[in-house]
Structure 1
């Protein structure tokens, strides 16, 4: 199994270096290397791309700008000479963050992560429903979206409460929210995201899921009421 990958870096030297590492890796198929977001976007729209090695600071459009314009994103490995963007990378569910100059062993470790995640997705039966992968206790954990009850912020972590148990994941709320379908989930508070279908009752202050009362931010009752009504009409 090979992953189709692209390399994006406005620095010719760094782009050639990463492309060389990709070409030498037995599990990668380099389908393109680009110096800007515009050319990269065209490639991703016209070809199957599983993995992108993406520089952040580029002229005209940054790596973040490129990703913001994609409806479906490949797996992401950010590459940068700075550590400043590492926290923001969480918001894009990046599988790794490589510092320039990139060493071969670190590059290979990032590829191993991508391959492992890609293989897990392929081996999951489609009739089990939609799912996502999260990193919990240093392992990739498969979570079925329909079984998530709510998500709670907990410092640098988030706590995901599902029908099967509770999982602690290193992530930001913003990053995890982008992985959830907006038709089914709503952020009702800076510290809470809820599964609309799990809400049993609510008022202006709380939404109840089972015996748990989840606080609603100011004016979120109306948003929740609209979401619940829309969900009920689509069933």
Structure 2
């Protein structure tokens, strides 16, 4: 099982904290270690307990979330949450992993968490004192996503994916271990995939570049499958390949 990230929710609105708690509990790689109503409570918590991920509201009484981050000499990774779009630029200037606009959908939250997990896989943090953490893996870890499949969060190694196919409200993911069905749009999954490894060749297909066996102007062989290259995507696809 992958290392779990200890995360802290900081938000002055109880309903917002409840939503984030449900989302955190649905993702095996996250473990909720606490929740705070404001930045001063969060500061006290961080002085006593190790936290690797902050789910931090921006507009709060006493001290704004963005100002709070500036007071920390070694802040954890941060995903900002807010109902105010105007703070996005400042949030990213503080090296936030992502910026989530309320109301936050689970799909959008999962995309942000996947960014954190992929970043940690490529650049694992050293063990934190006060609790046991597995030693970082020295070999290069393959990129992955967690996606909701059959009411479970399933880890999908991207180097095992051949292609993705849009099926109306679902996406079929063809992997070395067989097909998986995800209730999500192809466009939302495209945003989560590393663009240097995947390419969209049709409105209904995204393929893994490592598994392309051959191609023409109109078709592409991926694994044992022949897929169409859409007319609108053709020039860009051929330019990339």
- TM-score of the superposed pair, with normalisation by structure 1: 0.52
Give 1:105's aligned residue: 107
Q: Distance in 1 between matches of 2:49 and 2:26?
A: 21
Residue 197 (structure 1) aligns with = none
| Number of aligned positions between the proteins | 128
Gap change, CA 1:86 and 1:2, over 3 Å in 2: same
1:22 aligns with 2:19: no
Shift of 1:15: 1.1
Does residue 56 in structure 1 map to residue 61 in structure 2?
no
Tell me which residue corresponds to 2:67. 65
Q: Distance in 2 between matches of 1:37 and 1:31?
A: 16
Q: 2:33 matched to 1:39?
A: no
Separation (CA, whole Å) in 2 of partners of 1:42 and 1:20: 24
What secondary structure, in the 3-state scheme, does the structure 1 residue paired with 2:75 have? Answer: coil
Task: Please show how residues 109-188 of structure 1 align to structure 2 within 5 Å.
Answer: 109-122=111-124
82, 85, 110: which is aligned to 2:84? 82
Cα distance in 2, alignment partners of residues 138 and 6 from structure 1: 31
Kindly report the root-mean-square deviation, in angstroms, between the aligned alpha carbons of the 2 structures: 1.7
> Unaligned 5+ residue runs, structure 2?
125-135, 139-193, 197-241
Counterpart in the other structure of 2:95: 93
Supply the distance in 1 between the matched residues of 2:137 and 2:73 (Cα, whole angstroms): 22
Q: How many angstroms does 1:124 deviate by?
A: 8.1
1:43-100 deviation line (CA, Å, top 9, x unaligned) = 1222221111110000001101211111101111000111101111122101111011
- From the superposition, tell whether residues 13 and 47 of structure 1 become closer, same or farther in structure 2 (CA, over 3 Å): same
Distance 2:14 2:118 in 1: 30
